[in-house]
Amino acid sequence: MGMQSDAIQRYIRATGASHSEVQGEMVAYAHQHEFPIIGPDAGAVLRLLARMTDAGTVFEFGSGYGYSASWFLAGGADEIVLTEIDEAELDMARSFLARAGHGDRVQYELGDALDVVGEYDGPFDLVLIDHDKPRYTDGFEEVREKVPEGGVIVADNMIRGPIDVEALSAFFADEEPLPEDASEETAGIADYVDHVRADPAFESFILPVGSGICLSTRVAPRE
């Protein structure tokens, strides 16, 4: 079983999306500094979504230094709004994305993504939620009316990251309460998944790619 899953992983990686030169540098930085980027497999899904929705504007909650944005841009998104509370990371994003030739399609917003989103009317064809796990649901609520029918909200870290996946499994599959000492990250992800699944305007599911991404497609017109 171990051997087989190793083989599958190697097979998938060897045939997966490859990095541009600048993306390769971004990955090297992530390895050196243990920075949690979404990685090439989830990145390829962002690129695919940008192509399939013929994306106009994309909005990101928590952009880091621009790795996830580089995939939306590679998929042809017209414009992307990056938000980041860490100024040094946002400066790195500016430099990486300019060198990748994407500079004129990017808005760089320093500050809390939940404040910045209020300054934009949208529409956003695609959204990535990848900031503070306990505030994912707030991010979804702030942005849901800015996403048109057919648009997709993606949220990272559903199955890996600073979360207890055993507790999430027991919560959803066995209807057990979360343990009292569950971290606020685990509670945040449980709340997010519960919340989007209950929203009748969206169809949601978790794709077990990378750290696990929840895809929520808007299937009803905006109010």
Ligand X SMILES: C[S@@+](CC[C@H](N)C(=O)[O-])C[C@H]1O[C@@H](n2cnc3c(N)ncnc32)[C@H](O)[C@@H]1O
In the complex, the residues that contact ligand X under the rule CB under 6 A are 36-38, 62-64, 67-68, 83-86, 89, 112-114, 130-132
Minimum distance, C-beta of residue 121 to ligand X, in the bound complex (Å): 19
Of 125 and 132, nearer to ligand X (C-beta) is: 132
CA 31 to chain centre: 19
Of 53 and 68, nearer to ligand X (C-beta) is: 68
Minimum distance, C-beta of residue 4 to ligand X, in the bound complex (Å): 29
Of 60 and 164, nearer to ligand X (C-beta) is: 60
> HSE-up of 177 (CA within 13 Å, CB side)?
3
Minimum distance, C-beta of residue 58 to ligand X, in the bound complex (Å): 12
User: Tokens 């048109």 sit at which residue?
Assistant: 148
Minimum distance, C-beta of residue 46 to ligand X, in the bound complex (Å): 9
Angle between the 2-15 and 39-53 helix axes, to the nearest 10 degrees? 50
Of 136 and 171, nearer to ligand X (C-beta) is: 136
> HSE-up of 33 (CA within 13 Å, CB side)?
12
Can you tell me the distance from the alpha carbon of 216 to that of 155, in angstroms, rounded to the nearest whole number? 9
User: Tokens 């599911």 sit at which residue?
Assistant: 205
